[in-house]
Amino acid sequence: MNKQTIRDVDLKGKRVLVRVDFNVPIENGVITDDTRITAAIPTLEAILKQQPKDVVLMSHLGRPKEGVPEDQYSLKPVAAELGKLMKRTVEFEADPLSEAAVAKANALPAGTILVLENTRFFKGETKNDPDLAQKFAKYGDVFVNDAFGSAHRAHSSTEGVAKYLPAVAGLLMEKEINFLANAVDNPTRPLVAILGGAKVSDKIKVIESLLSKADKVLIGGGMANTFFKAQGISMGSSLVEDTAVETAKDLLAKSKGKLVLPVDGVIADDFKNEANTKTISVSEGVPDGWRMLDIGPKTVEEFRKILADAKTVVWNGPMGVFELDNFAKGTNAVAGVLADLTGKGVTTIIGGGDSAAAVQQAGLGDKITHISTGGGASLELLEGQALPGVVALKDK
Ligand code: AMP
């Protein structure tokens, strides 16, 4: 990465303002997955080692109507969880834009961690309002951006604040960028990409970018259906994006054999776990009233063979409707293949979102080289786009 990090700056005695990604799932006040909190801790510990005056954290949480505080999106329980995980006192500030709050923060004892309330409770955050960015900037002498999951958004707390303070990357940001950018720009080859999920239209840019950079691109999930339709195969009631069929045709024509589609699939007579199912060859087509909800076992074997030669693998998007057990087999099998490859020295990278959830669900999280904390941000990196939250940081 060509940006400065916390290792390149002297933080001793400084007030360090850190943008983290604490956008964690909360159900009835209970945090159901603390991955993003634990992922920020190495950065926070490394900052504390430099003996700063204090460490002030900001993050968004969920999608409240901007400028309208709602209890269910408060970061208060997240601050408490961080305190438990770090075994430290963590303070919380509910009203960070008030002058009194800044004065209070400045009077905190050295080494204190303070979490500010959800940045989206304040008008202007998602519009990158400079006034709001300046108000956030009052909390720091240095700004550290460690929120990879929010780096693709130019918001006041990510890109905006970097204009008013010396701004560097945190260790999580550095790790994410190094893994994902290296994987596509400087990979140990062969590089094989696996793409799944619902829609081709969401991922056209990433498919195009990977077709130019990867050695093979394996397609699964609902998006494969649109490619099948483009080949004239009937898809019954399967999810097909009619508006993307022409694009799928173009991509197939451009792909020069790099793009690999499933050869078989699991079809169901209803969109539910208890539906009747059959495994069919794709060439047979899907009968009326049935829908393709997972890749089949022959496809898993085909993918396994191709992946056996890979030295780097990047995966984004599930191979089927993995939320329903009966259609999670393809996704779980691919997760298993990646876990085996990691054991053989292959670099395996999962680009966040649903595929990350699927790997964790299969209990294979610790057998993958790198699981990204940012779905949207990792897709944009794989597309070859610059992330505004990173562009704003100081160059090395
Ligand atoms: P995405 O957000 O584009 O990565 O899509 C993830 C979603 O795609 C998940 O909710 C899956 O259930 C869904 N999905 C994957 N395969 C299929 C399929 N064959 N038919 C319908 N939905 C699918």
Q: What is the dihedral of CA 112, 168, 64, 94, to 10 degrees?
A: 20
Helix-helix angle 171-185:35-49, to 10 degrees? 110
pLDDT of residue 353: 81
pTM assigned to the model: 0.91
**Residue 323 near ligand 1, beta carbon < 6 Å:** yes
Which CATH architecture describes the domain 178-382? Answer: 3-Layer(aba) Sandwich (3.40)
Helix-helix angle 76-86:35-49, to 10 degrees? 60
Whole-angstrom Cα distance, residue 213 to residue 205? 12
**217: which residues sit within 8 A by CB, 6+ positions away?**
192, 193, 194, 195, 207, 210, 211, 255, 258, 259, 260
pLDDT of residue 176: 96
C-beta separation of 370 from 349 below 8 A: yes
**Residue 221 near ligand 1, beta carbon < 6 Å:** yes
**CA 99 – ligand 1 centroid, Å:** 47
Ranges for all domains in the chain classified under CATH 3.40.50.1260: 6-171, 178-382
Enter the tokens of residue 148: 């990879």
C-beta separation of 58 from 162 below 8 A: no
pLDDT of residue 352: 76
**275: which residues sit within 8 A by CB, 6+ positions away?**
268, 269, 326
**Residue 200 near ligand 1, beta carbon < 6 Å:** no
Task: Express each pLDDT in 326-368 by its tens digit.
Answer: 999 999 999 999 999 999 999 999 997 888 988 988 899 999 9
- From the number of C-beta atoms within 10 Å of its C-beta (0-12, 13-18, 19+), residue 99 rates as exposed
Pocket of ligand 1, candidates 277, 299, 331, 354: which has the most ligand atoms within 8 Å of its Cβ, to mutate? 354
**CA 320 – ligand 1 centroid, Å:** 6
Whole-angstrom Cα distance, residue 154 to residue 127? 8
Q: In whole angstroms, how large is the CA radius of gyration of the chain?
A: 23
**CA 264 – ligand 1 centroid, Å:** 17
Q: Does domain 6-171 have CATH number 3.40.50.1260?
A: yes
**Residue 202 near ligand 1, beta carbon < 6 Å:** yes
**CA 395 – ligand 1 centroid, Å:** 38
**Residue 320 near ligand 1, beta carbon < 6 Å:** yes
**Residue 324 near ligand 1, beta carbon < 6 Å:** no
Atom of ligand 1 nearest to the CA of 321: 12
Task: Express each pLDDT in 73-119 by its tens digit.
Answer: 999 999 999 999 999 999 999 999 999 999 999 999 988 999 999 99
pLDDT of residue 228: 97
**CA 321 – ligand 1 centroid, Å:** 5
Walk along the chain (396 residues) and give the pLDDT tens digit of each residue.
Answer: 899 999 999 999 999 999 999 999 998 889 998 999 999 999 999 999 999 999 999 999 999 999 999 999 999 999 999 999 999 999 999 999 999 999 999 999 988 999 999 999 999 999 999 999 999 999 999 999 999 999 999 999 999 999 999 999 999 999 999 999 999 999 999 999 999 999 888 899 999 999 999 999 999 999 999 999 999 999 999 999 999 999 999 999 999 889 999 999 999 999 999 999 999 999 999 999 999 999 999 999 999 999 999 999 999 999 999 999 999 999 999 999 999 999 999 999 999 788 898 898 889 999 999 999 998 999 999 998 999 999 999 999
C-beta separation of 320 from 359 below 8 A: no
